[in-house]
């Protein structure tokens, strides 16, 4: 996958497909909000009539408001660390190199392979296949070190100084040979390859052609995938079953590199016994690194996993339904107010009772209290019961609420560690069957439909944890249903996919699910896909997300509206990530440069661009453009180009308004003078002389508007315009300037189409 570059640098943007059947011609700005008839059926509150587009637009607005609030609260989760334990031989929770498509620098790969021990004989077998065919597929269990193995194989052939490239797991292997992605003498990896979409099945002929093209260019590709890939005929001859190195050998290898002091015989024996029980190389390396720094006891604690022991011991006691159901409910509702939890816990119990009354086997044998009359149930001290029910697993905390309740704390039930929540869901999945999970799924469906935002966010977190063990079940029984449901359900599905990206091997699966929803799966799923391609998912798979959203922006107005809102949200959430900000801006510049004058695609691109220029921050009313000019070097050049494009179009009034708001926001900040001057230079270089003169004249008029006539704004406008007056046009351009409208400027902010 190529990095996004300037318009003349050959950015490989996915071609815009032919308009779908639901596509509509572009709507002039002043008519963009005119109600249009919608294609969806009647909603639950209108059984006798078809829903209209304003109804759907209002629902989608509410959904994006929910997403925005969640991104405000958990932005650090989406852009922070990823649980990479065991995926590569590194330490801590830093993501493995190659998880996000892009360049893997030699230093980055070297850190990941610091303690690497090649597993035999699979390493040598894979190396022979790679040298022979320039292509190999490493198959095996998650956490077996396939990712580290892919880097080690490429460095063995290309050398430790090689800059490797990670390609998107959504890449079609059959198309790579004909793409511009493959460069001579390059090493490529595709981590956690999830397979082709149904209409792009990998054929043996295409894989052979890919191998031949790699050999011709002297390049190499290593793919990591699950065990099921070995059953695919087209790839079978290229697969090597992968396994982790012997844990004791790896531990001793690390000890030799770290050179720590000898251990007492009994301590060493216990340590090696614990090491031998480990499945993931990352856990072994973590203990080896802790040993010289913090001692043998701490290393043993690292290996013992006390939380796992506590959770397993609790389930070995075969808890009654009175104890099991509250803990199962908490796994999906951790941290909600206690009163909310109790209400929803009672709802889960009702689902279980209904299921048991249908004649099926009960979830668990009830204790004596279950048979007590209703009065006895009321008399029980259920809150105090937690002190006995889950000792060491659950505790209570007082936490403030959100919004208007931020100043008032409320008691909430939480697990003693985030790991406990994951382990509880693991045990529930491993020990209980349909008799528990059927009513539990019904209950989760109710919460996704009627729960408040905090409740639905926790449901999404819990379902994402469940997907680690039951991805197919989660996809078919929950995500597919929610993705074409009502707004609350769609938001819950989108958030679930976001939280799935916190685990490396699930992130490609989340991307694959979203991509499948964009392909002729109906309006509801397309809107959900647009919502999901923001946040963590859009941050990891930048080009895939932008290509997907740009494709959706070509479709019918409802889907296009959602795609534009998602692009705005991507920019808002990337505000503190300069690399991603520049990636988005370069992408939009490239799209505009590749559209023909007067074309439908150009009209859509310009409408989207002006929304990006108008948007404000996630947590403030400050224009994002002002924040970028202040904090992101080189953003002025790209923003200037985008502003020049929209000032030439029917969006010119909104573009001038966005420019005025940016100048007003920056008026008292002398540090941005250079960036504003660079912005003006970029705009000037993209305009003809008459266009530039018209901008100077009408910007001067606009700054007299009461919203913008603020001391300091006009002086900053002179920095933008003054030093550049009289300069000749940068090149042969059309000399007829569009007249810039001086109609009242829109005051609504944030990225909604007006």
Q: Which two tokens stand for residue 322?
A: 């009175």
* 56, pLDDT greater than 90: no
Domain range 102-241, CATH architecture: 3-Layer(aba) Sandwich (3.40)
Report the share of the chain in percent with pLDDT over 70.
80
pLDDT in tens, 564-594: 999 999 999 888 889 999 999 999 999 999 9
Tokens, residue 165: 């490239």
| Domain over 508-721 is classified CATH 1.25.40 | no
CA dihedral 738, 741, 747, 753 (to 10 degrees): -50
Q: What is the pLDDT of residue 608?
A: 95
Judged against a pLDDT cut of 70, whether residue 19 lies above it is answered with no
Question: What was the pLDDT predicted at 530?
Answer: 96
pLDDT of residue 228: 75
Question: Nearest CA to 146 among 215, 84, 91, 204?
Answer: 84
Using the predicted structure, report yes or no on whether residue 83 has a pLDDT greater than 70. Answer: no
pLDDT of residue 294: 86
Is 611 in contact with 753 (CB distance < 8 Å)?
yes
Please write the tens of the pLDDT for every residue from 632-649: 989 999 999 999 999 888
Query: How do the domains of the chain map onto residue ranges?
Result: 102-241, 247-304, 508-721
Average pLDDT over residues 473-479: 96
In 3D space, the residue among 16, 15, 33, 19 whose CA is nearest the CA of residue 558 turns out to be 33
Is 131 in contact with 240 (CB distance < 8 Å)? no
Looking at residue 54, its pLDDT comes to 59
More confident residue, 728 or 303: 303
Give the model's confidence band at 370: pLDDT under 50 very low, under 70 low, under 90 confident, else very high.
Answer: very low
Confidence of residue 7 (pLDDT cuts 50, 70, 90): very low
User: In percent, how much of the chain has pLDDT > 90?
Assistant: 51
What pLDDT was estimated at residue 218?
A: 94
pLDDT at 196: 63
Q: In what order do the strands lie in the sheet with 135-139?
A: 102-104, 164-166, 187-193, 220-225, 135-139, 239-241
User: What confidence score (pLDDT) does residue 98 get?
Assistant: 81
Secondary element (H or E) of residue 536:
helix 535-540
Mean pLDDT of 396-420: 79
* pLDDT attached to residue 550: 95
Rounded average pLDDT over 106-127: 94
Residues contacting residue 11 through CB under 8 Å, at least 6 positions apart: 2, 4, 5, 586, 587, 590
* pLDDT digits 0-9 by tens, 120-175: 999 999 999 999 999 999 999 888 899 999 999 999 999 999 999 999 888 778 78
In Å, what is the CA distance from 740 to each residue of 494, 657, 695? 40, 11, 7
Start-to-end C-alpha separation, the chain: 35
- Report the C-alpha gap between 263 and 97 in whole angstroms: 34
- Cα 39 to Cα 51, 562, 651: the distances in Å are 8, 16, 28
Mean pLDDT of the chain: 82
Contact assessment for residue 151 and residue 136, using Cβ atoms and an 8 Å cutoff = no
* pLDDT band at residue 27 using 50, 70 and 90 as cut-offs: very low
User: Could you check whether 102-241 and 508-721 share the same CATH topology?
Assistant: no
Confidence of residue 721 (pLDDT cuts 50, 70, 90): confident
Place 750 in a pLDDT band, splitting at 50, 70 and 90: very low
CB atoms within 10 A of CB 630: 16
- Is a pLDDT exceeding 70 seen at residue 22? no
Instruction: Give the pLDDT of residue 95.
Output: 61
Distances 31 to 27, 650, 655, 753 between C-alpha atoms, Å: 6, 12, 17, 10
Which range among 41-55, 317-331, 427-441, 498-512 shows the weakest confidence by mean pLDDT? 41-55
Position 712 pLDDT exceeds 60? yes
Pick the more confident residue, 74 or 588: 588
Distance of CA 434 to the CA centre of its chain: 31
> In whole angstroms, what is the distance from residue 81 CA to residue 204 CA?
38
Question: Which range (443-447, 540-544, 708-712) has the least confidence?
Answer: 708-712
647-670 pLDDT tens trace: 888 888 999 999 999 999 999 888
pLDDT at 91: 30
Taking 80 as the threshold, does the pLDDT of residue 523 lie above it? yes
Q: Which range has the worst mean pLDDT, 2-6, 356-360, 544-548, 623-627?
A: 2-6
Is pLDDT larger for residue 37 or for residue 673?
Answer: 673
Digit-coded pLDDT (tens) for 281-323:
989 999 999 998 888 888 888 888 888 999 999 999 999 988 9
CA-only gyration radius of the chain, Å? 29
The 8-class DSSP code of residue 403 comes to G
Q: What is the structure's pLDDT at 562?
A: 95
What is the arithmetic mean of pLDDT over 43-65?
64
How far apart are alpha carbons 484 and 152 in whole angstroms?
43
Query: Is residue 751 pLDDT above 90, yes or no?
Result: no
559-562, Cβ contacts within 8 angstroms, sequence gap of 24 or more: 559/22, 559/523, 559/526, 559/527, 559/530, 560/604, 561/57, 561/60, 561/753, 562/60, 562/64, 562/526, 562/527, 562/530, 562/531
pLDDT confidence band for 355 (50 / 70 / 90): confident
The pLDDT score that the predictor gives to residue 566 is: 95
Q: Is the pLDDT of residue 470 over 90?
A: yes
């Amino acid at each position: 996958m190529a990095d996004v570059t300037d318009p003349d640098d050959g950015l490989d943007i996915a071609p815009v497909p032919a308009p779908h059947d639901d596509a509509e011609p572009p709507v002039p700005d002043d008519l963009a909000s005119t109600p249009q008839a919608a294609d969806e059926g009647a909603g639950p509150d209108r059984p006798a009539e078809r829903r209209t587009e304003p109804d759907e637009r209002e629902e989608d607005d509410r959904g994006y408001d929910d997403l925005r609030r969640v991104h405000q609260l958990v932005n650090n989760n989406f852009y922070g660390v990823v649980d990479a334990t065991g995926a590569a031989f590194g330490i801590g929770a830093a993501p493995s190199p190659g998880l996000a498509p892009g360049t893997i620098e030699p230093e980055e790969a070297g850190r990941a392979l610091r303690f690497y021990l090649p597993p035999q004989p699979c390493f040598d077998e894979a190396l022979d296949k790679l040298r022979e065919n320039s292509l190999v597929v490493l198959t095996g269990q998650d956490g077996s070190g396939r990712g580290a193995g892919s880097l080690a194989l490429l460095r063995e052939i290309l050398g430790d100084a090689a800059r490797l490239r990670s390609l998107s797991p959504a890449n079609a292997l059959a198309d790579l040979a004909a793409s511009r992605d493959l460069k001579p003498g390059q090493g490529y990896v595709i981590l956690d390859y999830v397979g082709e979409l149904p209409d792009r099945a990998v054929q043996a002929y295409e894989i052979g052609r890919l191998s031949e093209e790699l050999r011709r260019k002297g390049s190499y590709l290593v793919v990591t995938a699950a065990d099921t890939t070995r059953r695919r005929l087209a790839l079978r001859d290229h697969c090597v079953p992968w396994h982790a190195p012997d844990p004791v050998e790896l531990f001793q290898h690390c000890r030799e590199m770290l050179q720590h002091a000898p251990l007492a015989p009994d301590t060493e024996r216990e340590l090696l016994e614990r090491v031998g029980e480990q499945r993931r190389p990352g856990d072994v390396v973590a203990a080896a690194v802790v040993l010289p720094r913090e001692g043998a006891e701490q290393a043993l604690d690292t290996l013992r996993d006390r939380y796992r022991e506590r959770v397993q011991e609790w389930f070995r006691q075969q808890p009654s339904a009175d104890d099991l159901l509250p803990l199962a409910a908490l796994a999906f509702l951790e941290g909600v107010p206690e009163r909310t939890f109790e209400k929803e816990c009672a709802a889960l119990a009702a689902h279980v009772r209904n299921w048991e009354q249908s004649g099926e086997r009960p979830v668990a044998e009830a204790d004596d209290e279950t048979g007590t009359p209703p009065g006895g149930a009321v008399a029980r001290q259920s809150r105090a019961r937690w002190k006995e029910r889950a000792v060491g697993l659950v505790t209570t905390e007082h936490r403030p609420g959100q919004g208007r309740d931020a100043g008032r704390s409320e008691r909430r039930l939480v697990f003693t560690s985030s790991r406990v929540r994951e382990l509880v869901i693991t045990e529930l999945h491993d020990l209980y069957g349909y008799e528990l999970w059927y009513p539990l799924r019904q209950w989760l469906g109710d919460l996704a439909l009627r729960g408040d935002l905090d409740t639905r966010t926790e449901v999404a977190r819990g379902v994402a944890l469940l997907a680690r063990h039951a991805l197919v079940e989660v996809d078919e029984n929950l995500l597919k249903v929610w993705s074409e449901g009502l707004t609350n359900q769609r938001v819950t599905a989108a958030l679930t996919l976001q939280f799935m990206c916190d685990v490396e091997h699930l992130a490609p699966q989340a991307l694959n699910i979203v991509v499948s929803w964009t392909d002729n799966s109906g309006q509801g799923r397309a809107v959900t896909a647009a919502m999901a391609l923001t946040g963590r998912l859009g941050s990891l798979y930048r080009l895939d997300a932008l290509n997907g959203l740009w494709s959706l922006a070509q479709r019918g107005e409802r889907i296009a509206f959602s795609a534009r809102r998602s692009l705005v949200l991507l920019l808002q959430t990337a505000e503190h990530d300069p690399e991603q900000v520049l990636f988005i801006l370069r992408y939009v510049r490239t799209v505009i440069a590749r559209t023909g004058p007067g074309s439908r695609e150009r009209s859509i691109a310009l409408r989207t661009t002006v929304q990006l220029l108008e948007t404000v921050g996630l947590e403030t009313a400050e224009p994002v453009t002002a924040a970028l000019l202040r904090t992101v070097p080189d953003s002025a050049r790209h923003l200037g180009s985008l502003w020049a494009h929209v000032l030439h179009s029917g969006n010119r009034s909104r573009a001038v308004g966005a420019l005025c708001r940016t100048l007003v926001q920056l008026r008292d900040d002398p540090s941005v003078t250079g960036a504003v001057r660079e912005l003006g230079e970029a705009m000037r270089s993209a305009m003809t002389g008459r266009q530039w003169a018209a901008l100077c004249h009408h910007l001067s008029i606009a700054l007299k508007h009461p919203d913008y006539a603020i001391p300091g704004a006009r002086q900053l406008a002179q920095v933008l315009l003054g030093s550049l007056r009289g300069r000749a046009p940068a090149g042969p351009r059309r000399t007829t300037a569009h007249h810039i409208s001086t109609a009242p400027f829109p005051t609504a902010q944030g990225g909604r189409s007006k």
